[in-house]
Amino acid sequence: MANTGNARGMIAVDKMGGKVLFLNPATYETEVVIDGFQRTVHELLVVPETGLAYVPIFGDGIHGRNPNPGHLLCIIDLVRRTHVGDIDLRPYIAPHTLKLAPDGLIYITCENSAVVAVIDRTTHKVVEAIDSGSTNGHRLIISPDGRRLYTENEEDGTVSVIDLETRKLLGKIKTPRPLAGIAISADGRTVVAVDDEEPTLFLIDAAAERVVDTIRLDGVAQAAQIARYSPDNSLIGVTSLKSDTVSLVDPSFRTQTAIKVGNQPMDMAFRGDELFVACQGDGSVHVIDIPNRRHKASFKAGTGCESLGFF
């Protein structure tokens, strides 16, 4: 997601409402609603320099219970604020998390197919599919140098390690319990895997490919969900869907602050010294004052947004 205090626009994926919203970045009022998507819109990739965003159609279920998996990646024009096309990922299905890598390609987990699909942005075509090693591979992260891709394989309690130069699965890193989210440090040395059973983070040494530490989340009663580093890597935001909190964690993991937000917080977007948290359970978005580690404001957006971004 873009990090700018002077964003021209704000986009939100209303997973519960099945819509994509454009919001005013100053007043937070909903200005444009795009409807008519197949079920269900999940996740978001914003590429401001090309004026496009991408939203996967995961299917009509949830992770682990998705009887009618989707196969489309929707293309959203950020200037015209319209749905301008789709990328058909078939035969790969249940697309979820997607990231833009340093090589300029988009990588997206296709959960039910146990692959990471590779998309060329110039043609909007799938050019390859990489074995992820698990049909539970839900979210992914890419190392800053573009050499490694990691998927967190939820119920397996593993992280798959993929070499992006050869586009091959190198192996898996075992974690003590099932997982819910994943992030990586700016130097690529530490992979942060979110524990799906207890309010903890597993710290993985990327070079050694093993868990080296477990960090308890202070003031968080139940397991967390998503971890996201700020663009300047000065902070890690961690949401707990079950505890209705977002934790601001120092990259050294020595200090942290848990802040109450809305119901079922999911993904986050940074803008300057603010963190925006989307809460899919009650249709609220919460603004966190990062320097003062406090709740600043909240507003309504759709039925229940999962992902946010600025451009």
Q: Among 2, 1, 46, 41, which residue's Cα sits nearest to residue 18?
A: 41
Neighbours of 221 (CB within 10 A): 12
With tokens 């790969």, the residue in question is: 92
**Mean pLDDT (whole number) for 20-44:** 97
**Mean pLDDT (whole number) for 166-183:** 98
**Mean pLDDT (whole number) for 161-187:** 98
**Mean pLDDT (whole number) for 201-229:** 98
Q: Taking a C-beta distance cutoff of 8 angstroms, is the pair 267, 239 a contact?
A: yes
- Indicate the pTM of the whole model: 0.96
**275-284 pLDDT tens trace:** 999 999 999 9
Confidence grade of residue 5 (pLDDT, cut at 50, 70, 90): low
**Mean pLDDT (whole number) for 85-89:** 98
**Mean pLDDT (whole number) for 173-192:** 97
**94-115 pLDDT tens trace:** 999 999 999 999 999 999 999 9
**Mean pLDDT (whole number) for 264-271:** 98
How much of the chain, in percent, has pLDDT values that exceed 90? 95
pLDDT at 2 over 50: no
pLDDT at 170 over 70: yes
**117-159 pLDDT tens trace:** 999 999 999 999 999 999 999 999 999 999 999 999 999 999 9
How much of the chain, in percent, has pLDDT values that exceed 70? 98
pLDDT at 63 over 70: yes
**Mean pLDDT (whole number) for 203-219:** 98
Confidence grade of residue 60 (pLDDT, cut at 50, 70, 90): confident
**Mean pLDDT (whole number) for 208-235:** 97
